[in-house]
Copies of this chain bind each other. A is one copy, B any other.
Amino acid sequence: LTRPGTVYLVGAGPGDPGLLTMRALELIRQADIVLHDHLVSVEILAQCGSHTRLIDVGKVGHGVQTDQAAIERELIALASRGHRVVRLKGGDPLLFGRGCEEASALRAANVPFEIVPGVSSAMAAPAYAGIPLTARGLAASVAIVTGHCGGSGATPPTIPIADTLVVLMGIANAASIRDQLLAAGRSPDTPAAAIEWGTYARQRVAVATVATLPDVIARDSLRAPAVIVIGETVRLRPVLEWFDSSSLASRDVLLSRSTATVDGSDHVWPPIAG
């Protein structure tokens, strides 16, 4: 169940509403207020209760940085007034989701919280592209990094070393990623793929090598949100490819709220009255 005065830091998964967890569904149906990332899909927001107020608090990957401190203050204020508050994030809340910062702020303010892991796009986007992260004899380890530098002037994180590398939010920095991989001794012929809107009906996949990745991304005009996968398992895509976006239309997704409402007038950030 859900408790008044509590903040739930919830992963919404990668996009396909079928990948929402049961606990996340229960929470957004019962929540008084849902503060959600811009990228959470309309079909998922449509599952919120009819009484639930939806607030879009961020444009992820679109340049404008949401005021993180303001979000944290708002979570504390809403919970302190006795609301059931869901902070709904794309993917998983503790993997590049700033959930750690929000949980720390809530703890400092003595606001009870719960963390609900979600299916990360780091795993789901490759899966929907027919690319396994591990495979016997090909890849026995995975590393995940973000290609997004965050605040201005920050240096990009060092590329970790593993058999398969997943880069979240790296599409705009593909040339830099290529250069770092080559400098680290990775072969330019290593297979690579970029997955735009992974798990959505509009998913697009481009296959390249480390050397050609930036050119292929430019050729196909791939944009954020996108996941990059680098490693030998990319070669398995012709065998494992299964996702047919037309099959999504036949799913049993119950809409408890019209998508018109979701797209429209609830977005009132900032400020919030009540």
List residues 136-154 of chain A with CB under 8 A from any CB of chain B: 136, 140-146, 150
Chain A interface residue count, Cβ-Cβ cutoff 8 angstroms: 70
A214 interface residue per 8 A CB criterion: no
In Å, the complex CA distance between A6 and B81 comes to 50
A100 touching B132, Cβ below 8 Å:
yes
Contact indicator per residue, chain A 98-131, by CB within 8 Å of chain B (1) or not (0): 1111011001000011111111100110111000
Interface on A for B, CB 8 Å cutoff? 1, 11, 13-14, 16-23, 25-26, 92-96, 98-101, 103-104, 107, 112-120, 123-124, 126-128, 132-136, 140-146, 150, 157-163, 233, 236, 239-240, 242-243, 247, 250-252
Q: How far is the CA of A13 from the CA of B163 in the complex (A)?
A: 24
Q: Chain B contacts of A162 at CB under 8 A?
A: 143, 145, 160-162
When the two chains form their complex, are residues A107 and B239 in contact, meaning their CB atoms are under 8 A apart?
Answer: yes
Main secondary structure on chain A at its contact with chain B? Answer: mixed
Looking at A13, A107, A135, A144, which has the most chain B CB atoms within 10 Å of its CB?
A144
Separation of A82 and B123 alpha carbons in the complex (Å) = 30
Known: A19-B23, A143-B143, A161-B161. 17 other contacts (CB 8 A): A1-B250, A1-B251, A11-B119, A14-B117, A16-B23, A23-B251, A95-B134, A100-B134, A107-B240, A117-B128, A119-B119, A120-B120, A140-B146, A141-B144, A141-B158, A142-B144, A143-B144
